[in-house]
A = this chain, B = another copy of it.
């Protein structure tokens, strides 16, 4: 399987496929730090990252913002002093698309490069 970090997001519409349970069982182990959880009935991927101060946390949030704008797929970014929580899901399909796993992997890669 091509590494998620080497893939690009595809454009989504409301008929784009939600990932199947089989796909989740294949994709999830490649992003082990991410939690798969349900918020308001919608599955999402969530992960938190720690930093030594506010500025480093904000800088990471901005980096995530930049790659999300490049890929045309945007997360929820919760920035606090020393902490950033990223949540990925696909609004148009009210659930998880393969794009979300790609972006989760790219978020981890970004953090590891810091």
Q: Which of B55, B74, B79, B81 contacts A61 (CB 8 A)?
A: B79
Q: Is the CB of A74 within 8 A of B81?
A: yes
Docked pose: A79 CA to B62 CA in angstroms: 10
Docked pose: A62 CA to B63 CA in angstroms: 12
Least Cβ–Cβ distance between A4 and chain B, in angstroms? 22
Total residues of chain A contacting the partner, CB 8 A = 17
A65 within 8 A of B: yes
Q: Would you mind naming 16 contact pairs between A and B with Cβ atoms under 8 Å apart?
A: A54-B65, A54-B69, A55-B69, A58-B62, A58-B65, A58-B69, A61-B77, A65-B79, A74-B80, A76-B79, A77-B78, A77-B79, A77-B80, A78-B78, A78-B79, A81-B91
A68 within 8 A of B: yes
A80: which B residues are within 8 A, CB to CB? Answer: 74-77
A81: which B residues are within 8 A, CB to CB? Answer: 74, 91
Least Cβ–Cβ distance between A50 and chain B, in angstroms? 15
